[in-house]
Structure 1
Amino acid sequence: MSIPHLFRCPISLDIFTDPVTLCTGQTYDRPCIERWLAAGHRTCPVTMQPLGDAAALVPNRTLRHLIERWLSSDHHIPDPSATATDIDDAEEPSLAALKRCLLQSNAGANNASTVAALKKVATLASDSDVGRACMLQLGFLPLLLQLVFHAPTPWDLSEQEELALQCALSLLPSSPTSPHHDCLNMLRTETTLASFVRLLERGRVRVKAGLCKLLETIATAAATRELALAAASSARVWQALLPLLQHGDERVSCAAARAVAAVCLAAGEHAVRHGAVPALFKCLSWASAGKGGVGNGSNGGSVAVSALAAVEAVAGTEAGRRAVAREPGAVRALVRHVFVVSSRNEGSEHAVAALVAVCRGESTRAARSEAVAAGVVTQALLLLQSQCGARAKAKARSLLKLFKSM
């Protein structure tokens, strides 16, 4: 469809999803301008005027409202799939028509038109950045979440609900500061949390992996901080999540490891209290012993890297440092992952950072002795000579300084 020029971000040329205005008066999509600023630029991309040290991003609510009104006016977008099932005899249903169909299906009954609408949404979300942005602006995400977590939730999901979960995951914004994440707070109810846990325990492989991805987003998004803490403080969530670290399907174990890492970063003390530390080291052992290892690029390697990232996050709290230091074999396991032959050293930075946290301070003298006995100095020196990144090398130097007196 023809998008008005003023509704497009000047950086991406896509329709705005979260318009923000700089002090120069220029408006950009928040994810785009945040990437520009994160790259070290301190000028306005359009005017090239200096922004100073504080580049304030002011939400442009008026523009966002105008875009939402324009999108709601039954505009049509091209159908990217020639064989997609027609909805209500329309070959190219408008976004408004798709939304009406989903609204009518929220009573929980499966029907062919809802499944067809969800397939159309899934196609648009995967094939079109513009379609994804438009659906996000029109409020498709909360509708899809309601389809997944409507009450009463069955032990498993139907085709309709699985498609709704797939579509919701496709629409999740990439920026953790996006205001669209706020709709995830609808999950913060006793009934929904219970449904989430049941589906983690009994759902099919794709459902479990999808729910882990959803939990990862909740833990990292700024708008869902309270929801993340509520999930992290729930023993039932941890009882359902931690066993997935060693799931038979590596798609699930990878997604679970990333979710645990994100939750540990948001609420490390809760993770320690609910047994995340021993579960993470069991996962490391499992991933390294025939399930992909750390460095060959397989899913097992991704599991190990995410588990190491979670250990680093947990070790950032006092309770986590003590738990890792007390865990039998934990320090030796971290030393083994400082440098792995033929790896891309993806997990090395996390392993080194965790060791720095655990071995710092007088109260962890035993951990330092165990690390030395495990060959930490040799491993760190090998890492410094490898092709690892600058941050990993800087942390390796910090680690070596801790053992200078020994």
Structure 2
Amino acid sequence: MSIPHLFRCPISLDIFTDPVTLCTGQTYDRQCIERWLADGHRTCPVTMQALGDATALVPNRTLRHLIDRWLSAATTDQQHLPDSGSDQDPSLAALKRCLQSDATTATAATKIAALEKVMALASESDVGRACMLQLGFLPVLLPLVFRTATAATLAPSDRRRAVVGEEELALQCVLGLMPCTSAAPQLDCLNMLKKEAHLASFVRLLERGSGRAKAGLCRLLETVATATATRDLALIVAASPRVWQALLPLLQQHDGPASDPRASEAAVRAIAAVCAAEPARGSAIHHGVVGALFRHLSWWDYGKGGGGAVSCALAAVETLAETEAGRRAVARAPGATRVLVRHVFMMSSSNDGSEHAAAALLSVCRESRAARSEAVGAGVVTQLLLLLQSQCGARAKAKARALLKLLKSR
């Protein structure tokens, strides 16, 4: 069963949370259309009709009422819910109450069974996912992930294993319910990580969790770094030494019997997202992100896949190299210039990765004669000429030409 077409915003394709109507008669979610207008667009996204000054947004209360009634009916429709295995009410409300109950009223096995039902609903049914998101399941699930370290540490061994199992399962449920748009108001509940105890629990799970849990936490960190509602939290996380101490080692977990490439790739994406915010760059550089990124890039082999993560790593290096401290860190990183030269042009690399590598080299070489000499010795001219002859984009070619011009005048 799918969400009715009329209940989806044409921009985000998610169920409406605050439907508003333009003068063209088209309805959009308020967050989405306000962002569209704030970007300078003066047309209706669906009809492309010019709006001029007529950008007033009228609340569509009728549609809001219909969605509320539909959600209410869906929460009690047992045909679209998994079997509860008991005589109790199997509605979403009962499932939510079970997750909210403390250890005295619900056993660990009961909690895990409830979490498994949430996962099934989130993965198999658009209706179930939409209902749980609208009914506030995220704020209920997050405390199950980020328990206080004391509670998990002092529990008996069997209970501690159950707690870890609940945490990791609850994390997968959270990821399954994450809204598709970074402007979704439901993401405000992630600000619970501003509390020191919850952030400490995040770090503990990032250090000791399974590879799947670590990858999931990195995805959650990427969301925190990009969401509108968590901008302040992103800066708090970026300033935390313990977060970096737990996050950076994941970049090197790419080989060996205990490694998990998913965690390594997710960590790269999370770091790139954090570094995209200018206020966070100084802290990232201070905690050794530049060196860790280059160690990761030095290992990476184009034949092993994961080109998207490499492009993210190069994008982070480019961003950090825009600052003076970042350029100094690149200069200190062993073999950094040669690593960048290697990524300027590779047969299977993405255009984005080539562009980021050329841009980072351009920033570093502008400031350092030694870097220019090292780049030339590493064969950067040949790489740049190959890049210019390839199918790369206009921005990558512009960076390549600028770098060639700089090297010619050295």
Q: TM-score range by the shorter chain?
A: 0.7 to 0.9
Structure 2 gap segments, 5+ residues each: 154-160, 254-258
The SS at the match of 2:276 is helix
Residue equivalent to 2:272: 261
What RMSD, in angstroms, separates the aligned Cα atoms of the two structures? Answer: 3.6
Residue equivalent to 1:179: 185
Matched, 1:276 2:297: no
Higher helix share: 2
Residue equivalent to 2:260: 249
112-121 or 267-276, larger mean C-alpha shift: 112-121
Deviations 1:241-274 (A, max 9, x none): 1001011111111111111111122211110001
Residue equivalent to 2:384: 380
Residue equivalent to 2:375: 371
Cα separation, 1, equivalents of 2:192 and 2:63: 22
Residue equivalent to 1:393: 397
**For the Cα contact (< 8 Å) 1:18–1:179, is it kept in 2?**
no
The SS at the match of 1:44 is coil
1:2-401 to structure 2, matched below 5 A, reads 7-10=7-10, 15-17=15-17, 19=19, 21-22=21-22, 24=24, 26-29=26-29, 43-52=43-52, 66=65, 67=67, 71-72=71-72, 75-77=75-77, 84-86=82-84, 88-89=86-87, 93-105=90-102, 110-151=107-148, 152-154=150-152, 157-247=163-253, 248-266=259-277, 267-287=280-300, 293-294=301-302, 296=303, 298-299=305-306, 301-360=307-366, 363-401=367-405
**For the Cα contact (< 8 Å) 2:75–2:131, is it kept in 1?**
no
**For the Cα contact (< 8 Å) 1:280–1:311, is it kept in 2?**
yes
The SS at the match of 1:353 is helix
**For the Cα contact (< 8 Å) 1:80–1:127, is it kept in 2?**
no
Q: What displacement does 1:401 show?
A: 3.4
Cα separation, 2, equivalents of 1:5 and 1:174: 17
Cα separation, 2, equivalents of 1:245 and 1:108: 41
Deviations 1:318-353 (A, max 9, x none): 221221133231111101110113444452122122
Residue equivalent to 1:290: none
Deviations 1:58-113 (A, max 9, x none): 695968975567635673357668xx55254479x433332222222588964333
Q: What displacement does 1:216 show?
A: 1.1
Cα separation, 1, equivalents of 2:172 and 2:70: 26
Cα separation, 2, equivalents of 1:260 and 1:305: 12
Q: What displacement does 1:228 show?
A: 0.9
**For the Cα contact (< 8 Å) 1:7–1:15, is it kept in 2?**
yes
Residue equivalent to 2:157: none
The SS at the match of 1:214 is helix
Cα separation, 1, equivalents of 2:169 and 2:55: 39
Partner letter of residue 366 of structure 1?
A
Q: What displacement does 1:311 show?
A: 1.1
Q: Per the alignment, do residues 110 and 254 of structure 1 end up closer, same or farther by CA in structure 2, a change over 3 Å counting?
A: farther
**Please, what TM-score do these two structures have when normalized by structure 2?**
0.82
Aligned length: 393
Cα separation, 1, equivalents of 2:188 and 2:64: 17
Cα separation, 1, equivalents of 2:19 and 2:178: 17
363-372 or 17-26, larger mean C-alpha shift: 17-26
Cα separation, 2, equivalents of 1:21 and 1:365: 58
Q: What displacement does 1:23 show?
A: 5.7
Q: Per the alignment, do residues 16 and 252 of structure 1 end up closer, same or farther by CA in structure 2, a change over 3 Å counting?
A: same
167-176 or 329-338, larger mean C-alpha shift: 167-176
59-68 or 224-233, larger mean C-alpha shift: 59-68
Partner letter of residue 131 of structure 2?
C
Cα separation, 1, equivalents of 2:200 and 2:299: 29
Structure 1 gap segments, 5+ residues each: 288-292
Cα separation, 2, equivalents of 1:6 and 1:72: 17
Cα separation, 1, equivalents of 2:12 and 2:268: 32
Q: Per the alignment, do residues 326 and 140 of structure 1 end up closer, same or farther by CA in structure 2, a change over 3 Å counting?
A: same
Cα separation, 2, equivalents of 1:110 and 1:221: 35
Cα separation, 1, equivalents of 2:304 and 2:31: 28
**For the Cα contact (< 8 Å) 2:311–2:350, is it kept in 1?**
no
Indicate the percent of aligned positions where both proteins have the same amino acid: 66
